[in-house]
Structure 1
Amino acid sequence: MRIKFLFFIFFLFTMSFYGQGHDWKGKRITNRENQNKSNTWINFRRDININSIPNQAIAKIACDSKYWLWVNGNMVVFEGQLKRGPNPNDTYYDEIDIAPFLTEGKNTIAILLWYFGKDGFSHNSSGQAGLVFDCAALNLYSDGNWLSKLDRGFSSTIDKNPNYRLPESNILFDARKSDFKWIDPNEELTGSSKANVLGTAESKPWNKLVLRPIPHWKNYGIANYTNPTEIPKEGHGEWIICKLPYNCHVTPILDIEAPAGLTIKMQTDNFDYMGLHVASVRAEYITKEGAQQYESLGWMNGHVVKYWIPKGVKINTLTYRETGFNTEFTGYFKSSDPFYEKLWQKATRTLYVTMRDTYMDCPDRERAQWWGDLVNESGEAFYALSPSSASIAKKGILELINWQRANGIIYSPIPEGNWNAELPGQMLASIGYYGFWNYYINTGDKETIANVYDGVKRYLDVWKLKPNGTLIDRKGDWYWGDWGKEIDKQLLYNAWYYLALKGYLNMSELLGKTVEADRTQKELLAFKEAFNNIFWDGKGYRRSDYKGTYDDRAQALAVVSGLADKTKYKTLLKIFKTSHLASPYMEKYVLEALFVMEESKFGLERMKKRYHNMVNVSPWTTLNENFGDETTTKKPDYGTNNHAWSGGGLTILAQYVCGLYPIEPAWKTFMVKPQLGDLDYAETGNKTIAGNVNVKIAKVDKGLDIVLTVPNASEALVYVPLKNKNVIIDGKKVYTNIKEDAYNIYRVKSGKHKISAR
Structure 2
Amino acid sequence: MPIELLDARELDPGWREPDFDDSAWVPATVLKAGHNGALAESRPPVDPYGAMLPRGIGTLGGARVVAPSAVVRSAPAVADLPDHPAERLIRQLRVGEAGRVAQLPLTVDLSPDAATLLTVNFGRIVAGHVELDVDAPPGVRLDLLYQESADYDAVAGPVASAPRSSASYVTRGFADRYRAVDLNGLRQLFLLIPPGTGEVTVREIAVNEYHYPFTGGAEFHSSDPELDRLYRAGIRTTELNSFDAFTDCPTREQRAWVGDGVVHQMVHLVANEDWRLARNYVTLGASPRADGMLPMSVVGEIEYSGGYTIPDWALHWIHGVWNQFRHDGDRAATLRLLPVAERVLRWYEPYIDDRGTLSDLPEWNLIDWASVFSSGRSSLSTGLWARGLAEYAEMAEWLGNTASAAWALGLWERARTGYEDFWDPDRGSYVDHILDGVRMPALSQAAGAVAIVSGLAPRERWAGIVDVITDASRLVVRSWIGGEDGGYDMDKIVEQSQGIYRIDWDVDQEIVLAEPFFSYVVHDAVAAAGEADRLPGLLRRWSVFLHDGFDTFGECWGWGTPVHAWSATPTKDLIWYVLGVTPDEPGYGAVRVAPRPGAVQRVAGAVPTPHGLVRVEVDNGQVRVDSPVPVRFVPPSGKESTAPAGHSEFVL
- Normalising by the smaller structure, the TM-score range is 0.7 to 0.9
Return the alpha-carbon distance in structure 1 between the equivalents of residues 63 and 514 of structure 2: 40
- Partner residue in 1 for 2:126: 248
Structure 1 residue 225 corresponds to structure 2 residue 76: no
- Partner residue in 1 for 2:609: 688
- Partner residue in 1 for 2:590: 669
Could you tell me which amino acid in structure 2 is paired with residue 218 of structure 1?
L
After superposition, the C-alpha distances for 1:332-373 in whole angstroms (9 at most, x for unaligned) are: 222222111111111111111111121111112221111221
When the two structures are superposed, what TM-score results if normalisation uses the length of structure 1? 0.67
* CA gap 1:235/1:754 in 2 versus in 1, 3 angstroms: farther
**Residue pair 2:533, 2:598 contacting (<8 A) in 1 also:** yes
SS at match of 2:347: coil
Q: Tell me the matched-pair count.
A: 548
Could you tell me which amino acid in structure 2 is paired with residue 287 of structure 1?
T
**Residue pair 2:126, 2:207 contacting (<8 A) in 1 also:** no
After superposition, the C-alpha distances for 1:375-407 in whole angstroms (9 at most, x for unaligned) are: 111112111112x2x322333323333x21222
The unaligned stretches of length 5 or more in structure 2 are: 33-41, 71-101, 110-114, 153-157, 475-510
- Partner residue in 1 for 2:448: 555
Return the alpha-carbon distance in structure 2 between the equivalents of residues 594 and 357 of structure 1: 33
* CA gap 1:756/1:305 in 2 versus in 1, 3 angstroms: same
* CA gap 1:519/1:190 in 2 versus in 1, 3 angstroms: closer
Instruction: Supply the RMSD in Å over aligned alpha carbons.
Output: 2.7
**Residue pair 1:436, 1:449 contacting (<8 A) in 2 also:** yes
Select the residue among 599, 624, 630 that pairs with 1:707: 624
**Residue pair 2:379, 2:419 contacting (<8 A) in 1 also:** no
After superposition, the C-alpha distances for 1:132-162 in whole angstroms (9 at most, x for unaligned) are: xxxxxxxxxxxxxxxxxxxxxxxxxxxxxx1
Could you tell me which amino acid in structure 1 is paired with residue 452 of structure 2?
V
- Once the two structures are TM-superposed, the CA of residue 697 in structure 1 deviates from its matched residue by 0.8
**Residue pair 2:117, 2:192 contacting (<8 A) in 1 also:** yes
SS at match of 1:255: strand
- Partner residue in 1 for 2:341: 456
- Once the two structures are TM-superposed, the CA of residue 250 in structure 1 deviates from its matched residue by 2.2
- Partner residue in 2 for 1:525: 413
After TM superposition, the structure 1 stretch with the greater mean CA deviation from structure 2, 369-378 or 560-569, is 560-569
Select the residue among 412, 418, 430 that pairs with 1:541: 430
- Partner residue in 1 for 2:363: 477
- Partner residue in 2 for 1:53: none
- Partner residue in 2 for 1:487: 373
Return the alpha-carbon distance in structure 2 between the equivalents of residues 603 and 294 of structure 1: 47
- Once the two structures are TM-superposed, the CA of residue 710 in structure 1 deviates from its matched residue by 0.2
**% identity of equivalent residues:** 21
* CA gap 1:398/1:296 in 2 versus in 1, 3 angstroms: closer
Select the residue among 323, 328, 345 that pairs with 1:438: 323
**Residue pair 1:225, 1:245 contacting (<8 A) in 2 also:** no
**Residue pair 2:210, 2:243 contacting (<8 A) in 1 also:** no
- Partner residue in 1 for 2:36: none
Return the alpha-carbon distance in structure 2 between the equivalents of residues 461 and 316 of structure 1: 59
SS at match of 1:283: strand
**Residue pair 1:423, 1:479 contacting (<8 A) in 2 also:** yes
Could you tell me which amino acid in structure 1 is paired with residue 430 of structure 2?
Y
* CA gap 1:317/1:462 in 2 versus in 1, 3 angstroms: closer
Equivalent runs, 1:535-684 vs 2, <5 Å? 535-539=423-427, 540-542=429-431, 543-545=433-435, 547-572=440-465, 573-577=467-471, 578=474, 579-608=511-540, 610-615=541-546, 617=547, 619-628=549-558, 638-684=559-605
Return the alpha-carbon distance in structure 2 between the equivalents of residues 394 and 300 of structure 1: 25
Structure 1 residue 234 corresponds to structure 2 residue 121: no
SS at match of 1:395: helix
**Residue pair 2:146, 2:189 contacting (<8 A) in 1 also:** yes
Return the alpha-carbon distance in structure 2 between the equivalents of residues 198 and 210 of structure 1: 15
- Partner residue in 2 for 1:383: 270
- Partner residue in 1 for 2:284: 399
Could you tell me which amino acid in structure 1 is paired with residue 455 of structure 2?
G
- Once the two structures are TM-superposed, the CA of residue 319 in structure 1 deviates from its matched residue by 3.4
Return the alpha-carbon distance in structure 2 between the equivalents of residues 219 and 212 of structure 1: 19
After superposition, the C-alpha distances for 1:273-295 in whole angstroms (9 at most, x for unaligned) are: 56577525322211122453232
Equivalent runs, 1:54-453 vs 2, <5 Å? 162=1, 169-189=2-22, 191-199=24-32, 200=42, 207-220=49-62, 222=64, 224-225=66-67, 230-235=103-108, 237-244=115-122, 246-270=124-148, 275=159, 279=163, 281-290=165-174, 292-310=176-194, 312-328=199-215, 330-386=217-273, 388=274, 390-401=275-286, 403-418=287-302, 419-420=305-306, 421-431=308-318, 434-453=319-338
- Partner residue in 1 for 2:396: 508
- Partner residue in 1 for 2:643: 748
The unaligned stretches of length 5 or more in structure 1 are: 1-161, 163-168, 629-637, 722-741
Return the alpha-carbon distance in structure 1 between the equivalents of residues 249 and 281 of structure 2: 16
Return the alpha-carbon distance in structure 1 between the equivalents of residues 239 and 371 of structure 2: 29
Could you tell me which amino acid in structure 1 is paired with residue 454 of structure 2?
S
